[in-house]
């Protein structure tokens, strides 16, 4: 997978070379390039923003540097997905992470201030043979820019690439993969500060363990995220969840 980030803060992306993404780069699974939007400006001050038409607070990222940046980054691509982190985008979920993990080339347009001139996105969306545009929101809160969101989304996507994680089973069992939150986990010692590991987990009875874990998943999901359950299964925290 190829990843191109366009940003006015290229330094934000230094963590990409750490930890797991770092190893994926070394192994050739990922190729990553970070581009400074200001490299596509032509004035002495390397201006990337201007005041909004129609008035209002803040500044808007100008279309010209974005247009040139995208032309350059997309020039050598047959089919790219342009990911635009924005609080007004499609909510980011594990399902969207799985979808993005199937793409060959992700180009990330990281906005700042009040956002990117809408025509940049409209122009890209008008070339569906070359680029698919996906505006993505990390959640219902506002960050200072798209960089942190791009990093978070990248991590969720890249760890799904075949060959990226050592243990594929751990991917299947984790929160959200089956629509439920994960069950609680324990390790040694069996007793710690007066708190014991549930007996069932030490029983060696794999069927009982699987049933207990599933029940924990349903209970946790009902208590913490009832919105994830079908209406028939959703319970509130103060209600008792029947045994499954």
In whole angstroms, the minimum distance from the beta carbon of 195 to ligand ADE comes to 37
Residue 179 CB, nearest approach to ligand ADE (Å): 22
CB atoms within 10 A of CB 182: 16
Burial class (CB within 10 angstroms; exposed 0-12, middle 13-18, buried 19+) of 164: buried
Select 90 or 98, whichever has its Cβ closest to ligand ADE: 90
> Between residues 112 and 222, which has the closer beta carbon with respect to ligand ADE?
112
Q: Closer to ligand ADE by CB, 84 or 131: give it.
A: 84
3-class DSSP state of 206? helix
Query: C-beta of 6: minimal distance to ligand ADE in Å?
Result: 14
Q: Which two tokens stand for residue 24?
A: 């994926």
Could you tell me the maximum CA-CA distance found in the chain, to the nearest angstrom?
A: 71
Q: How far is CA 115 from the centre of its chain?
A: 19
Q: What is the Cα–Cα distance from 143 to 86, expressed in whole angstroms?
A: 9
As measured in angstroms, the least distance from the Cβ of 150 to ligand ADE is 8
Minimum distance of ligand ADE from residue 149's CB (angstroms):
4
Looking at beta carbons only, is 65 or 145 nearer to ligand ADE? 145
**Based on CB atoms, which residue is closest to ligand ADE, 94 or 233?**
94
Q: What is the closest distance, in whole angstroms, from the C-beta atom of residue 90 to ligand ADE in the complex?
A: 10
* Footprint of ligand ADE (CB under 6 A): 85-87, 137-139, 141-143, 145-146, 149
Angle at which helices 118-125 and 63-74 pack, to 10 degrees? 30
Nearest-angstrom CA–CA distance, 116 and 134: 14
Beta carbons of 40 and 46 less than 8 angstroms apart: no
Q: Is 94 helix (H, G, I), strand (E, B) or coil?
A: helix
Residue placing its CB nearer to ligand ADE in the complex, 147 or 219 = 147
């Amino acid at each position: 997978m190829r990843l191109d980030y366009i940003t006015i803060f290229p330094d934000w992306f230094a963590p990409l070379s750490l930890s797991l993404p770092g190893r994926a780069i070394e192994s050739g699974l990922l190729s990553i390039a970070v581009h400074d939007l200001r490299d596509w400006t032509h004035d002495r001050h390397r201006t990337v923003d201007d005041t909004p038409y129609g008035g209002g607070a803040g500044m808007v990222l100008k279309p010209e540097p974005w247009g040139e940046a995208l032309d350059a980054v997309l020039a050598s691509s047959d089919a790219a997905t342009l990911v635009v982190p924005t609080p007004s985008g499609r909510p980011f979920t594990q399902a969207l992470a799985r979808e993005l993990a199937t793409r060959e080339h992700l180009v990330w347009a990281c906005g700042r201030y009040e956002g990117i001139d809408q025509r940049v996105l409209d122009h890209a969306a008008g070339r569906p043979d070359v680029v698919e545009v996906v505006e993505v929101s990390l959640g219902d809160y506002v960050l200072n820019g798209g960089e942190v969101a791009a990093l978070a989304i990248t991590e969720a996507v890249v760890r799904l690439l075949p060959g990226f994680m050592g243990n594929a089973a751990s991917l299947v069992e984790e929160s959200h993969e089956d629509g439920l939150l994960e069950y609680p986990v324990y390790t040694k010692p069996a007793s710690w500060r007066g708190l014991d590991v549930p007996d069932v987990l030490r029983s060696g009875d794999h069927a009982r363990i699987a049933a207990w874990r599933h029940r924990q998943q349903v209970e946790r999901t009902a208590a913490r995220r009832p919105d994830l359950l079908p209406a028939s299964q959703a319970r509130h925290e103060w209600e008792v969840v029947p045994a499954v």
